Chain A
Amino acid sequence: MAAATEWINESAFEQYLAQELEKELLRLLTCGSVDDGKSTLIGRLLYDSRNVFEDQIHAAAKATRNRPAGELDLSLLTDGLRAEREQGITIDVAYRYFATARRKFIIADTPGHEQYTRNMATGASTADLAVLLIDARLGVLPQSRRHACICSLVGIPQYVVAINKMDLAGYDSGVFEKIRAEFSAVLASIGIRDAFFLPMSALTGDNVVTRSRNMPWFEGLSLLEYLETVEIHGKRADTGFRMPVQRVARPDDSFRGYAGTVASGSLREGDMVTALPSGLESRVKRITTFDGDLQEAFAPMAITVELADQVDISRGDLLFSGPGQPPETAARFEARLIWMDSRPLDTGKRYLLKHTARTVPARIAIRNRINLETLGEERADEFAMNAIGLAEIIPAQPLFVDPYQLNRTTGSFILIDPETNSTSAAGMIQAVFSGDSGAGPVRAAERVARWGHRGAVVRTSSKAAALALERALFDRGCAVAVVESEVSADALAGAGMLAILPVSGTRGEDISEIVSGLERNGVLSGRDLYSRGEGI
């Protein structure tokens, strides 16, 4: 155990600590088929970024087999999935932690076997970014499509496709380009149009932490460089302020506060908020924390809100404020389900549905199932373990929701089997039906469900560019139009459509750049999986 004497002086160290406290956190998910080299990759990342201790290296060296003398089997550093396989417990997500000078990382290392889809979804639900591994010799496998599909469903915003084992493919740029072309098309078909592809060898370390000398033809960043610099916009919601009330804090007669985690948006002292289900409005008197009152709170802070008026609010209620559409009161809604229980869905049974801080009984009806081989939808009468599909949900009491695409917190739920208490399914809300189907004004969520995108105004430099962009978006099935004035553009965007406004004096642009920009900022994300337009 070495005593530390490296730091020049205390103030330099204090400065370092202050920087440490400011570091950002990136949550990522790694997935690939069995033997794609996932364990080796994670071992390499930890080893080359000096996040492994001496005793762990020693233990791995002792266990290394079938390698030239002095060479370390890096896969053993990450728990040895091998040892797990022998014990038959390679079935679960393992979480790993490491840090570099720039960022902290949480890796959800998910199992490759296809029967563990549910555990992959567990890891994916909190991830900001997915690293999909493909073996350069084998190319795109059914499992690669399946993983990408689940990641996209769960709404992971960013993707890296690492084409691994390039050392065994002669570091050939042709191999890389061929797989890139093929897998780009697969990703595009499920709504992922913006992924970072890189050629890599986890075994030799090429392009993992340091850039490869064996592949000078690739000019992009190494994997770690990319992970350290990619902009994090995971879990960003597109709704206004939402906070499900977790508990009512009433330590004495003088204080009554509502404790919860801000799901989206921000709240300032003095703002007006509305509580659901009561619908009553009140002013924010104080935002209290242990560390003092706050002027402003934003997602995902854990706070306690004191209101100016006595409003009847209890656990499971929702506080919200603008801008944008209010949450919907859902007596019946449509959701994507990932079935996770060994007992198949029983449509005659009432499951317990946990949504934010509210748990209610609910009935489920199957609409369709996704075929993970073709990625198309098909008729289905049954949801068995690992099935993914669309279902209609009828909760015993209304829930206050947003579509999952707009808000990961108010748009998600789990189903619990009341007989076994197991977590049977994960749900992502697609569309809400009003009490009488088709009645009342058209709501934002219905528009999103139909068109698969949100409203936006896009400015182009010329009429020609506007028409080209309109064609590109129209071909994707978007509700799009070219308009001549700001007023009409705003009106269309307000109704959930894409309005293209040519503005002279704007710099020239690349149409595909604009489209990928719309994908990046979430306007178009995942539209193919979400677009249905049926039954609303």
Chain B
Amino acid sequence: MTRLSHLELLEAESIHIIREVASEFQRPVMLYSIGKDSSCLLRLAQKAFHPGPIPFPLLHVDTGYKFREMIEFRDWYTRQIGARLIVHTNREALDRGAQPFVLGTQRCCGLLKTQALLDALREGGFDAAIGGARRDEERSRAKERIYSFRDVHGQWDPKNQRPELWNLYNGRIGPGESIRVFPLSNWTELDVWRYIHSESIPIVPLYFAKERPMLVRGETLVSPEQPFIPRFEGEKPKMVRCRMRSLGCSPCTGAIRSDADTVPKIIEELIVARRSERENRVIDHDQDGSMEIKKREGYF
């Protein structure tokens, strides 16, 4: 008998989890953020239910500030694979002028991402939300279960998690409670890229290096896509060969200088990388230099 490679093992584990969710919950939904992890997750969902369609909808929480290319890719790709897509935006907050340079990154995320997600889950009556988070992403994630229980307020209690043995997941919940499910828990960033490579999974072109107009601020490259990005006097975008290591909202996602314009080159870049994924991921406009700009803009 043959043995499965580590990627095949991870794939099988993830498919098992996704099938289990679809079978045990009344109204599951898959969170789709358009990024590489979501692309990977979506392929696994296709595999789990082949030759049938994916039996649950995808939910994209659109802050309104995502890169244009992300939205184009989302609409093209979900149509191409025949997935059902729900887009939810916190219109009310946007209409009141929510943006990171007014509210600060944390509060902006709180309204446009967290609040929007909780509203969307409640409105949809979803009892399970499948997400693409990985345990290697961040410290607190290292402890998260594959089935992560949320109380009626959508909160996680790390001190009181359900034991999780073998592949026997406990999806029992009371009214208003829900489970977040993380089928990619045991994948690393490199695993995701290797899988995208070996499966030829389409991803947003922003991941590939290209000459792009960018506001260059020291090590940080900021996309000028949103008109409200404050500029220093006389500051103009410059063409920089760069790419995104992770995708989010354009005002808060830093690009990195790179020549990696194919998936193998991205993998190569990651292998020699000296810095982890989470660094450089989000430009936190609450701190240091960004505060200076905010103050110039009349922020207190």
Contact = CB atoms under 8 A, between A and B. Distances in A.
Interface string B143-170: 1000000000000001101111111101
Interface string B1-21: 111111111111101100110
Given A89-B158, A251-B51, A300-B9, A246 B166 contact: no
Nearest to B241: A3
A10 interface: yes
A393 to B, nearest CB: 15
Interface stretch (A133-141, A412-420, A441-449, A450-458): A412-420
A298 B2 contact: yes
A54 B274 CA distance: 5
B16 A25 contact: no
Interface string A85-124: 0001101111111010000101000000000001101100
A250 B186 contact: no
24 contacts: A1-B258, A3-B260, A6-B268, A13-B264, A13-B268, A14-B264, A88-B159, A94-B142, A97-B186, A104-B6, A121-B163, A247-B23, A249-B49, A259-B19, A266-B1, A289-B47, A291-B47, A301-B8, A352-B172, A412-B168, A414-B168, A421-B170, A421-B173, A422-B162
B265 interface: yes
Contact of B174 (A13, A24, A416, A421): A421
A304 B162 CA distance: 30
Contact of A300 (B4, B174, B267): B4
B188 A97 contact: yes
Interface in A1-43: 1-4, 6-7, 10, 13-14, 17, 20-25
A125 interface: yes
A60 to B, nearest CB: 12
Interface residues of A, number: 77
A73 B9 CA distance: 34
Given A92-B143, A288-B50, A414-B170, 9 more contacts: A1-B273, A21-B194, A53-B276, A89-B158, A106-B186, A301-B8, A412-B165, A416-B170, A422-B170
Given A14-B264, A125-B166, A302-B15, A20 B194 contact: yes
Interface of A: 1-4, 6-7, 10, 13-14, 17, 20-25, 53-56, 79, 88-89, 91-97, 99, 104, 106, 118-119, 121-122, 125-126, 232, 246-247, 249-251, 255, 257, 259-261, 266, 288-291, 298, 300-302, 304, 315, 340, 352, 354-355, 357, 408-409, 412-414, 416, 418, 421-423, 426
B47 A290 contact: yes
Given A1-B257, A300-B9, A119 B163 contact: yes
B139 interface: yes
A315 B52 contact: no
Interface SS majority for chain A:
mixed
A243 to B, nearest CB: 11
Interface residues of B, number: 71
Contact of B165 (A3, A23, A426): A426
B258 A24 contact: no
A235 to B, nearest CB: 9
A198 to B, nearest CB: 25
Contacts of B142: 79, 94-96
A232 B50 CA distance: 31
Nearest to A352: B172
A302 B271 CA distance: 30
Given A300-B12, A414-B170, A416-B170, A53 B275 contact: yes
Q: 7 closest Cβ contacts across the A-B interface? A: A251-B52, A25-B6, A302-B15, A290-B47, A53-B276, A290-B50, A125-B165
Contacts of B143: 92-95
Contact of A249 (B9, B51, B159, B269): B51
A22 B265 CA distance: 19
Interface in B250-286: 256-260, 264-265, 267-269, 271-276, 279-280
A64 to B, nearest CB: 17
Contacts of B276: 53, 55-56
B166 A302 contact: no
B48 interface: yes
A7 B275 CA distance: 19
B136 interface: yes
Contacts of A291: 47
B233 to A, nearest CB: 28
B36 interface: no
Contacts of B174: 421
Contact of A302 (B16, B22, B197, B279): B16
Nearest to A125: B165
Given A14-B264, A106-B186, A247-B23, A55 B170 contact: no
Q: Could you say which of A14, A288, A414 has the most chain B C-beta atoms within 10 Å of its C-beta?
A: A414
B226 interface: no
A301 B12 contact: yes
B237 interface: no
A263 to B, nearest CB: 9
Contacts of B13: 300
A4 B265 contact: yes
Nearest to A95: B135
Contacts of B78: none
Nearest to A22: B5
